[in-house]
Chains A and B, each alone.
Chain A
């Protein structure tokens, strides 16, 4: 079973702070790395799908980087807002036919 680790497990930041968290995955046989945003009592929503080493993707104040050689991805949130409070999940797959393996998530709380 593939192992996907996310850190930290949770964090609290003040409104306006920038923050980042990490997803670690196996560095061999990489196919894709996904990031999802999951608000309480809702379903996870896709943020990014990353497939190439060195990929950088951005959506508004949220961006992500990918290093497939060393097996990690960073998610950055610039100028955190209370509405950014959610659990951020990363998921990894090593082939186009294999289901995603999800990490346990990083729970972000932004305090106004």
Chain B
């Protein structure tokens, strides 16, 4: 997956718990993204970053926070997990030729 590593791969959370999905890249690219994928809904953009220190909301940012203190890391935080956040999460970066490279995905269930 072209140098995009995200963890954990699977996680079960209780309602109200918090957690951080980690995303790290070793390709030194500026643009990074967090998407969620729900059945029949395609990929929805949560947050994105155009470089260290800069983040922006995407289409579905509510309930999430991000930070980008370094080029390499772009963690996604869920502060108060809700059942609506049960989803598959993909971290991605924009590489050479504007191609998007995705991490392997994180399956999150909130119960």
- List residues of A whose CB falls within 8 A of some B CB: 1, 32, 34, 36, 42-46, 49, 89, 91, 96-97, 99-105
Can you show 21 pairs from A to B with CB atoms below 8 A apart? A1-B59, A32-B98, A34-B98, A34-B99, A42-B104, A43-B1, A43-B90, A43-B102, A43-B104, A43-B105, A44-B43, A44-B90, A49-B97, A91-B43, A91-B100, A97-B50, A99-B45, A99-B48, A99-B58, A101-B45, A102-B42
CB distance from B102 to the nearest CB of A (A): 4
B12, CB-defined interface residue at 8 Å: no
> Shortest CB–CB separation between residue A89 and chain B, in angstroms?
7
* Shortest distance from the beta carbon of A97 to any chain B beta carbon, whole Å: 7
Q: B53: CB under 8 A from chain A?
A: no
Expressed in whole angstroms, the Cα–Cα distance for A3 and B42 within the complex equals 12
Q: How far is the CA of A105 from the CA of B41 in the complex (A)?
A: 9
Instruction: Give Cα A91–Cα B59 distance, bound, in whole angstroms.
Output: 14
User: Given A46-B100, A49-B97, do A105 and B42 touch, yes or no (CB 8 Å)?
Assistant: yes
Binding site for A on B (CB under 8 A): 1, 33, 35, 40-45, 48, 50, 58-59, 90, 97-105
Q: For B104, what are the chain A residues with a Cβ–Cβ distance below 8 Å?
A: 42-43
Q: Is the CB of A104 within 8 A of B42?
A: yes
The CA of A24 and the CA of B41, in the complex, are separated in Å by 16
* B99 CB contacts on chain A under 8 angstroms: 34, 46, 49
Residues of A within 8 A of B33 (CB): 99
CA distance A41 to B98 in the complex (A): 24
A44 to B44, CA, bound (A): 14
Q: What CA separation (Å) do A34 and B97 show in the bound complex?
A: 11
**Shortest Cβ gap from B37 to chain A (Å):** 9
CB-CB under 8 A from B103, the residues of chain A are: 43
Q: Which residue of A lies closest to B47 (CB)?
A: A99
